[in-house]
Amino acid sequence: MSGAPIIELDDVRKTYLAGSLSVDALRGITLRVDEGDYLAVMGPSGSGKSTLMHILGCLDVPTSGTYLLSGEDVGSLGEARLAEIRNRRIGFVFQQFNLLPSMTAWRNVELPLMYAGVHRDERKERAVAALESVGLGNRVDHRPGELSGGQQQRVSVARALVTEPSLLLADEPTGNLDSASTEDILGLFDELHAQGRTIVVITHEHEVAARSARAMLIRDGELYAADPMDAATTHGVTA
């Protein structure tokens, strides 16, 4: 790790109420991710990794504990400020590409800038530059249906990067890709990490975790250290 802390979780817990029952999805997560880090968080279905992703992405807030994003306590913020943080400071990449089929690649990429109130001419310039940065400079006017799965995911990565966020948060980014496209996207993440991007990947795939700089294993709402090359099988030591 290097640089200032981007993510600081201190004893973060999340409890969901279902009628008279309470479910502890996260049980005291403490985690630090510094600028330039590349972290994979692995876990099976029901382990708490989706809940952790939602909290990291400011899509949900902890029941207790503290989450600082670049030094700001997001747990105390209202929905308007959280929406602004999601738009400007976190770039999301999802398993489903979430591209609008009727819009060209650059139009899809410019959407976060539109929501941020950026002028149209600047939006296009930045969207095209983002597509060029992920190797799709010759596909800016193609619609999603004219692109392969790997290319569509590259468009979604460009969309995540176009606001120059401090954090790239990827949730099962290769879950809908074949092996060749998976390698393509993992190679792109390698390049982004080499450029100093801060990346957190939530995954259940050993192949994906093995490409990260470091890995954590989440099980039953608790986080453990893991070797990236052996993250699928490590039971770990409490982080």
Structure tokens, 91: 């770039």
Structure tokens, 90: 């976190």
pLDDT in tens, 46-99: 899 999 999 999 999 999 999 999 999 998 889 999 999 999 999 999 999 999
CA–CA distances in Å: residue 172 to residues 43, 71, 82, 92, 200: 11, 27, 23, 11, 11
In this prediction, residues 228-233 reach a mean pLDDT of 56
In this prediction, residues 26-55 reach a mean pLDDT of 94
In this prediction, residues 151-161 reach a mean pLDDT of 96
Rounded Cα distance between 165 and 123, Å, is 15
Residue 66, pLDDT score: 97
Domains with residue ranges and CATH for the chain: 37-47+79-229 (3.40.50.300)
Residue 229, pLDDT score: 64
Average pLDDT of every residue of the chain: 91
Residue 1, pLDDT score: 45
DSSP states along 153-205: HHHHHHHHHTT--SEEEEESTTTT--HHHHHHHHHHHHHHHHTT--EEEEES-
pLDDT in tens, 203-229: 998 999 999 999 999 999 999 988 766
Partners of 226 in beta bridges: 215
pTM: 0.90
Which tops the pLDDT comparison, 234 or 27? 27
CB-count burial class (<10 Å; 0-12, 13-18, 19+) for 120: exposed
126, HSE (Cβ side, Cα atoms, 13 Å): 19
Rounded Cα distance between 177 and 145, Å, is 15
Residue 232, pLDDT score: 46
Residue 238, pLDDT score: 34
